Amino acid sequence: MDTLSLLGSTPLGCYKKLIEYHKSGNLSFKYVKTFNMDEYVGLPRNHPESYHSYMWNNFFKHVDIDPNNAHILDGNAEDLQAECDAFEEKIKEAGGIDLFVGGIGPDGHIAFNEPGSSLVSRTRLKTLAMDTILANAKYFDGDLSKVPTMALTVGVGTVMDAREVMILITGAHKAFALYKAIEEGVNHMWTVSAFQQHPRTIFVCDEDATLELRVKTVKYFKGSLEPEGWGKSSAAQESATIHRASFLQKVTYFRTYHKPLRDLV
């Protein structure tokens, strides 16, 4: 059984493509376990802006996943710390996370691990930064008083324990975060930079997201994925082959039918 960690709304296009594959009979989630990365505290599970509602409305109810295998933090638990500890234990009992799929914020945050979060943190209760509350107000009719101020979230260390990580980054508004993630050093003020120390991470991005990167950086990674760049030297060919194989393996993460999902991104 494969274990997948999902992060909120960023992979919405990914969810739609997976549903499409499922409905065509080419993909099953019967033996997949999922762990969502965060949930608001104090928001009813059936609230339209809860991550529980979001995942069920946009993904889970459209596929054949066993509801008992879809794990989402309970932001209304009587003991929130116990809920966080139990979530970590469930991940451990499942054998760990095979693949983490998620996005980042413009400030480089992963889940609700905002700037300044410990890079070895585990699932915990977090007070949300004012910038996050302001950004989320659009989902609550612009009324700041309705926006949750706390959330449960997996830690950076929790995500780093995943065997593979795929981060989806789109749009010019996230270009500086991608630059910080790739071209500068590991920094707790940019939590996405922690993945520089992960052995199997891939960033999937569009052209706009690369606007802050050096031209040679973009050319290097494009060359690693394009067969046209092969053959220039044995070292370059080997690097390109390894990188491309890693890329294809990561987007082929549902192995029930062993079919590559190259159209996901």
Query: Tokens 């930079």 — which residue?
Result: 193
Query: Is 256 within 8 Å of 12 (Cβ atoms)?
Result: no
Strand stretches in the chain, DSSP E: 2-6, 32-36, 38-40, 70-71, 99-103, 124-127, 150-153, 164-169, 201-205
**DSSP 3-state assignment of 220?**
helix
Q: Please report, for the domain that includes residue 44, its CATH number.
A: 3.40.50.1360
| 151 assigned to some structural domain | yes
Token pair belonging to 249: 């393996």
Q: How many domains does the chain have?
A: 1
Query: Tokens 């390894």 — which residue?
Result: 242
| DSSP bridge pairs for 39 | 152
| 237 assigned to some structural domain | no
| 183 assigned to some structural domain | yes
Token pair belonging to 160: 């780093």
Catalytic residue numbers, as ranges: 38, 107, 109, 114
**DSSP 3-state assignment of 18?**
helix
H/E element holding 159? helix 156-160
H/E element holding 123? none
- Whole-number pLDDT of residue 13: 84
Residues sharing a CB contact under 8 Å with residue 120, sequence separation 6 or more, in sequence order: 155, 156, 157
| 230 assigned to some structural domain | no
**pLDDT tens, the chain, 265 aa long:** 666 666 656 678 889 999 999 999 999 999 999 999 999 999 999 999 999 999 999 999 999 999 999 999 999 999 999 999 999 999 999 999 999 999 999 999 999 999 999 999 999 999 999 989 998 999 999 999 999 999 999 999 999 999 999 999 999 999 999 999 999 999 999 999 999 999 999 999 999 999 999 999 999 988 876 655 444 445 544 544 444 444 434 433 333 333 333 333 3
Sheet with 150-153: list strands edge to edge: 38-40, 150-153, 124-127
Residue 38 backbone phi and psi in degrees, to 5: -160, 170
| 255 assigned to some structural domain | no
Residue 65: which domain range? 2-213
**DSSP 3-state assignment of 174?**
helix
- Whole-number pLDDT of residue 10: 67
Instruction: Residue count of the chain, please give it.
Output: 265
Of 100, 111, 133, residue with least CA distance to 202: 100
Alpha-carbon distances, residue 187 vs 127, 141, 165, 182, 183 (angstroms): 20, 34, 18, 11, 12
Token pair belonging to 70: 């879809």
| 236 assigned to some structural domain | no
- Whole-number pLDDT of residue 5: 62
**DSSP 3-state assignment of 201?**
strand
Cα distance between residue 95 and residue 35, in whole Å: 12
200: amino acid identity, one letter: R
| 248 assigned to some structural domain | no
| 246 assigned to some structural domain | no
- Furthest CA-CA distance within the chain: 61
- Whole-number pLDDT of residue 231: 45
**DSSP 3-state assignment of 35?**
strand
Helix 215-225 vs helix 234-251: crossing angle, to nearest 10: 80
